[in-house]
Amino acid sequence: MLSLPIRFQILRLMKSGAHPSVAYLTFNFPKPPALRSEFTHGGSVKLTYLAETFPHNFPSANLLYAVSSVGHPLQMEILTEARLKGLSIIVNQNGVAFPAWNGNNYEISNSELKKVIGFADFIIYQSRFCMSSAERYIQPPKVPHEIVYNPVDTVHFSPQVNVEKPKELTLLLGGNQYEKYRLELAFKSLQSLLKHVPNARLIVTGKLWRPYYESDEWVTRALKEMSITDHVTFTGTYTQAQAPQLYSQAHMLIHTKYADPCPGLVSEALGCGLPVVYVGNGGTPELVQEAGVEVRVEHSWETINLPAPDKMAEAVLQVYSRLDDYSQAARLQAQKFSLENFIVRHKEIFEKVLGF
């Protein structure tokens, strides 16, 4: 439970400003979004970027910017206070819950998303998939909306000339591994790949699923049973500042999440010149296009349908056979999601919403 001083601070929120003046609804509100040098991930990253151009203003603001995947213990109170004080509210809508990954709890999980998006004066969808899934499961209000893909700083996320690529074919499984199936598919894909490329390697980043003792036990057993222990490296979590150096240690990204709404990880990898081999549904195909290979699956809202590991391995070999071409395509594709374009579009949206 939050302290009374923090509850009192929220009540200080007021409408003010002749120009776009933004307050960002982060987990640490009313504090500002994290800096790039600090650990942040997921939907919080774009708030870090936005706050660099449009600083976090509290208590005086005329616009509250919320991301559906970034919560706060007093989220409803903050949104209600913003509405009472006359602030305009923009909701950046990520994915929703659906039975395939959330089972029978999906309606409960979506209930908070419905409440949040119900406050929106303007909705920014992170992909076409985000928009269609929101329309299907949380019935967004009939307000102006637009698709704006998550940004990538293509200056920061760029091929690192001071990092020498390993001689062995190296795959990156980035982000956090909160779902066991993602890591399992990557392990099995590597096992299949080793039949063709005996020295292939896999870098795994981030945290595993909880409880950690169970995930640690599963990883140890799986590595041994698949005979891939010497081919897998775990790096743990990383900051945005560290990411380009880490990404550049691999030849390509293998993205195994089912129906990922709009993974910023993918755009970051593209910026570093990494092609992407991925499970072909969700918003990921919208991001990658010609800069990688899609391993198609039948999309289902009810069950997670994953490709066979040998199909993932075949896609890796396809990319590896024309690695330079795919790497150039990756870099070009990343430019479509440049931070500069993201900022310009947000300035236009802010002014439109505020009537400036």
What per-residue confidence (pLDDT) applies to 191?
98
Structural domain includes residue 131: yes
Share of the chain above pLDDT 70, in %: 99
Same domain, 15 and 138: yes
Same domain, 233 and 89: no
Condensed to tens digits (0 to 9), the pLDDT of residues 116-174 reads: 999 999 999 999 999 999 999 999 999 999 999 999 999 999 999 999 999 999 999 99
What per-residue confidence (pLDDT) applies to 2?
46
pTM beyond 0.85: the answer is yes
Same domain, 264 and 348: no
Number of domains in the chain: 2
What per-residue confidence (pLDDT) applies to 3?
52
Structural domain includes residue 161: no
What per-residue confidence (pLDDT) applies to 239?
87
Structural domain includes residue 220: yes
Same domain, 199 and 143: no
- Pairwise CA distance, residues 18 & 9, whole Å: 23
Same domain, 272 and 124: no
- Pairwise CA distance, residues 172 & 254, whole Å: 6
Same domain, 54 and 132: yes
Condensed to tens digits (0 to 9), the pLDDT of residues 281-325 reads: 999 999 999 999 999 999 999 999 999 999 999 999 999 999 999
The CA–CA distances, whole Å, from 195 to 167, 184, 279 equal: 17, 18, 21
Same domain, 188 and 139: no
Mean pLDDT for 53-72 is 96
Structural domain includes residue 67: yes
Question: Which residues form the domain of 274?
Answer: 170-335
Same domain, 11 and 51: yes
| Residue 14 pLDDT class (50, 70, 90 cuts) | confident
Structural domain includes residue 129: yes
For 174, the 3-state DSSP assignment is coil
| Residue 1 pLDDT class (50, 70, 90 cuts) | very low
Least Cα distance to 222 among 149, 291, 303, 309 occurs for 309
Q: Supply 312's token pair.
A: 């993932």
Q: What is the CATH number of the domain that holds 301?
A: 3.40.50.2000
Residue ranges of alpha helices (H) inside the chain are: 4-10, 44-53, 75-84, 99-102, 106-117, 128-137, 180-193, 212-225, 243-247, 264-271, 284-288, 309-321, 323-335, 339-354
Same domain, 63 and 33: yes
| Residue 10 pLDDT class (50, 70, 90 cuts) | confident
Residue 4 pLDDT exceeds 70 = no
Same domain, 147 and 237: no
Same domain, 117 and 219: no
Which element (helix H / strand E) includes 254?
A: strand 252-255
Structural domain includes residue 158: no
Residue type, 99: P
Condensed to tens digits (0 to 9), the pLDDT of residues 220-254 reads: 999 999 999 999 999 999 988 899 999 999 999 99
Same domain, 197 and 317: yes
If one counts every other C-beta atom within 10 angstroms of the C-beta of residue 326, the result is: 23
Burial class (CB within 10 angstroms; exposed 0-12, middle 13-18, buried 19+) of 217:
exposed
